[in-house]
Amino acid sequence: MGKREQYVVWTLSGLLGLMFVLTGSMKLINADQTAIQFSIWDYQDWFVYVIGVVELICGGLLMVPGAAIFAGASLSIVMIGAVITLTIHHDPVGATVPIAFLILLAIIMRMRIMRKQLKPKLGDRYGH
């Protein structure tokens, strides 16, 4: 992976990670208000905390190379749930945001996986 690709993956990871940290934090800070919206979608109040914590923690982990793929996969599951929820409740326009985030998460994870596969092993570097 070249320098440009590294900048892209770090920039995307940073911006998307920050977005998830902020949205997760807001869900936890405004849990009562968020729970009202979640109840409209037939989710229990405790689910707000689960989603908020996953977004908060995994948003931060997007910037950690060894954890970024796990974080991206976890956030992808949350975004798939958001797309399904919004679609079922007849909000296809609202579903475009989590779809966009899913695409960005897929790009980040793919670039991280490619980088991991292209990294030479220590023994390869010295001809062993």
Q: What is the pLDDT of residues 66-112, one digit of tens each?
A: 899 999 999 999 999 999 999 999 999 999 999 999 999 999 999 88
Global pTM?
0.86
pLDDT of 16 over the 80 cut: yes
How much of the chain, in percent, has pLDDT values that exceed 90? 77
Q: What mean pLDDT comes out for the span 11-37?
A: 96
C-beta separation of 112 from 69 below 8 A: yes
How much of the chain, in percent, has pLDDT values that exceed 70? 90
Q: What mean pLDDT comes out for the span 57-61?
A: 97
